[in-house]
Structure 1
Amino acid sequence: MSTTENGFTDEERAAMKARAGEVKAARGRGSNKQAAEAQAVLDAIAALPTEDRTLAEKLHALVSEVAPELTHKTWYGMPAYFKDGKILCYFKAAGKFKTRYAQFGFEDAAQLDDGNVWPTVFAVTDLSDADLASIGERVRTAVG
């Protein structure tokens, strides 16, 4: 990744620009806000390169199934899932940031606390049925 003169990579700058657009769009969506935000997630997934798109589609279907109460929105241009207006979990595509693996992560609103140390972000290169079951359980726990 190339770093620009202000210290951010081109990919990081694009993500910040996407986030600013998300905030601006959310202010002006009116009564169809939730539907528009959910469609933005589907559009973001569809725009991903094949490998990332396959992972994102599986994770989106999983989160939608195990936690239908979550709101779907993009977050820095990536699929994310919110509870009570707070981000709960998200997908970060490998191709977007030119990294070796995609990530599925949980934020502070997730109720994953387990002792003094617990995982909140997972590297994802493929998703077996066992992997999906494990992530599904974590999403259920995170929702509370």
Structure 2
Amino acid sequence: MSKSDGFTAEERAAMKERAKELKAEAKAGKLKAEGEADIMEKIGQMPSAEGKMARRLHDIITATAPTLSPKTWYGMPAYANADGKVVVFFQGASKFGARYSTLGFNDTAMLDDGQMWPTVFALVTLTAEVEKKITALVKKAVR
């Protein structure tokens, strides 16, 4: 990519998806069930192993923080608070050709810990130990 190319094709596609999401949300103030359906559709489009990870994360997040509403965000599964701001999101490795998937938290998450703390975590596999850590992070994010 040359300097003048700007965004990659994947980044442009994600921005177009976000524009569609904003239009849909503005139309009728998306219901939680619609957000759930959108996420399941996106998960269904993911490569098998990535889709399994995203589905398991969805189960963990919705069980741990039922006050968060599922929605898509830049074409990725995300979970927002009551005012619609995304708290936590999943980005599959295939989305941008990365070597690992990520679980991220926006500034609306209450993960504050001193002067510096992590907000994005690399995910390779979901083990019982990793799931326990994710559950604790989600609980802390929505406290």
TM-score, with normalisation over the residues of structure 2?
A: 0.93
Mapped contact 1:4–1:10 kept (Cα < 8 A): no
- For residues 71-122 of structure 1, what are the alpha-carbon distances to aligned partners after superposition, in whole Å with 9 as ceiling and x for unaligned? 0000000000011221100000100100000000000000000111111100
Please show how residues 16-31 of structure 1 align to structure 2 within 5 Å. Answer: 16-29=15-28
CA distance in structure 2 between the aligned counterparts of 1:111 and 1:34, rounded to whole angstroms: 22
Cα RMSD (Å): 1.6
Query: How has the CA–CA distance of structure 1 residues 135 and 14 changed in structure 2, closer, same or farther, with 3 Å as cutoff?
Result: same
Is 1:129 matched with 2:128?
yes
Please show how residues 90-101 of structure 1 align to structure 2 within 5 Å. Answer: 90-101=89-100
Is 1:143 matched with 2:142?
yes
CA distance in structure 2 between the aligned counterparts of 1:68 and 1:134, rounded to whole angstroms: 18
Partner letter of residue 131 of structure 1?
A: V
CA distance in structure 2 between the aligned counterparts of 1:5 and 1:47, rounded to whole angstroms: 31
* Aligned residues between the structures: 142
Aligned to 2:52: 54
Is 1:86 matched with 2:85?
yes
Partner letter of residue 123 of structure 1?
A: A
Unaligned runs of 5+ in 1: none
Unaligned runs of 5+ in 2: none
TM-score, with normalisation over the residues of structure 1?
A: 0.92
Runs (4 or more) in structure 1 with deviation over 3 Å come to: 2-6
* % identical aligned pairs: 43
